[in-house]
Amino acid sequence: MADNGPIAIDPAWRLTPAAGFTRPAGPVVLVVMDGVGVAPADEGNAWHLARTPFLDSLMQAPVQGHLAAHGTAVGMPSDADMGNSEVGHNALGAGRVFDQGAKLVQNGVDDGSLCAGHAWNEVLAPCLAGGTLHLMGLWSDGNVHSHVEHAYALIDDAVKKGVRRIRMHILLDGRDVAETSALDYVLPLEERLAALADAGVDAQVASGGGRMITTMDRYEADWAIVERGWNAHVHGEARGFASASAAIRAFRAEKAGLVDQYLPPFVVTGADGAPVGAIADGDAVVLFNFRGDRAVEISRAFEVPPGEDFPPFDRGRVPSVTFAGMMQYDGDLQLPKRFLVKPPAIDRTLGEYLAKNGVKQLAISETQKYGHVTYFFNGNNSEPFDEALERYVEVPSDKVDFSERPWMKAAEVTDRALAEIDAFAPAFVRINYANGDMVGHTGQLVPAIIAMEALDLCLARLVPEVLERGGVCVLTADHGNCEQMFQRDKKRGGFAPRPDGPGYQPLTSHTLNPVPCVIVGGGAGERFVWREVDKPGISNLAATCLNLLGYEAPADYRPSVIAAR
């Protein structure tokens, strides 16, 4: 496939031909089956239970294997840490492993640097002058968006340095941890804050809500989520309770089967019925999430100054506060301006190398994963490296519970991808199908099965069309999810039974399972074969795609998983 004519290539960026490989006539298409890992064929494996004849046939292809997509293979602190779509796409695009948010923040906790920087001192300054310190974020130890111990470290340091008024705005998880585990995290927090109160520190939970209802929207899919959070956190406007634990118990009693991520917003009120923690002028706010995708929008709401237009929603009274994020969530937008930990500096990504060498690229997904195939794949950069050579396509996601429409926008993504391949003629394409992850997060097995069947139907259309155009498909995932829909009983083995009835406890989080990698087209098995590399992970696929495009990978990239015959 021809590029856009000859260009002058900077020698520092020039890619050299790979011995034994030539670029195919059609595109090299990297297909990310988001949240589809490899696990035993049991009654909790949605992929195994689904009718997926095409995908199952691909698993018998001559060039295929399994890749690590969690833990140290994607820059997490340990191999006990699950991967996620952010770090997964960073690894896929970077071709190397960079320490990620969870590890960077934990390093800061361990060596003391988290609370030694200029930004933290700026946060504390108004609080030491009489303002309130507000800490906001996802309240669990899932270590995907946040970790409670990071927030506790901030509380301890603030108290040590003299802060005497602290309010917590906690977003309940049930997605990266067990679906109804909120009290396991909230009760210890309330006990700890009560101990601080006994010691003379006015520390309380002020507001909260389930993460999928309150505050943590992403990719501007539904600003109403952020608006609900803003009203609860800033204005103290939501249903009132005497405590966060009382709110959780009341919501569960009122609606059977309600899981943490969908709990309504709430505020904690005092004896007079007034909210105990509305955010006021002269306060400081720290968003202690380290992952960026669900932190950007609420950060924007705080960063746009009072009096300036804010189109997403009417913020009402906008307090003048000192705002900081745990990290900078968007480097291009410099958002937020103040942050406690520097994000990973990911440079020389696959996308940038291809742009510098005049290779046309297409990135496409529906809204839920659009930022992953663009921003995260490009090393946390939002904009194309060369607009003339790159086309980014977003297919709007439905604003529904994905268990109700588990097919999501897979068919529309497939239609648009094939149309763009013909119209734009890219040499490299990256596609994300969100079904396995987004439906897997609901914890509902039947919808997850349907999600996999919808994915299979779309792959059965996409892959043959790409091969007919002379292309190559690399099918993989960024992490596991839907292949393990029940929690495992770590003590007794097998699945963990539900404590309140028949069946097993749903697993709504990502998994520690490896992910598949299958390469078809371009003479797979004849012109090139799978090769064993040390600790194969998804970061090895950048070099693999470069080989398929006819290039050698940069020397410091993780090695390709294919070798020419």
Which residues are known catalytic residues? 85
Q: Encoding tokens for residue 413?
A: 């993504």
The residue among 435, 431, 475, 476 whose CA lies nearest residue 453 is 435
Environment class of residue 451 by beta-carbon count within 10 Å: exposed (0-12), middle (13-18) or buried (19+)?
A: buried
Q: Encoding tokens for residue 373?
A: 């195939």
Per-residue CA distances from 547 to 135, 536, 560, 562 (Å): 47, 16, 7, 8
C-alpha–C-alpha distance, residues 34 and 252, integer Å: 31
What value does the CA radius of gyration of the chain take, rounded to a whole number of Å?
24
The residue among 430, 431, 412, 416 whose CA lies nearest residue 361 is 430
Contact of 562 with 519, CB cutoff 8 Å = yes
Question: Phi, psi (5° rounding) for residue 112?
Answer: 85, -5
Q: Encoding tokens for residue 140?
A: 């669990």
C-alpha–C-alpha distance, residues 524 and 517, integer Å: 13
C-alpha–C-alpha distance, residues 383 and 296, integer Å: 16
Q: Encoding tokens for residue 3?
A: 């590029």
DSSP state of 205: E
Other residues' Cβ atoms within 10 Å of the Cβ of residue 99: 15
Helix (H, G, I), strand (E, B) or coil at 390: strand
Contact of 517 with 476, CB cutoff 8 Å = yes
Per-residue CA distances from 355 to 169, 345, 369, 391, 524 (Å): 43, 19, 22, 11, 26
Contact of 432 with 373, CB cutoff 8 Å = yes
Tokens 């705080």 correspond to: 302
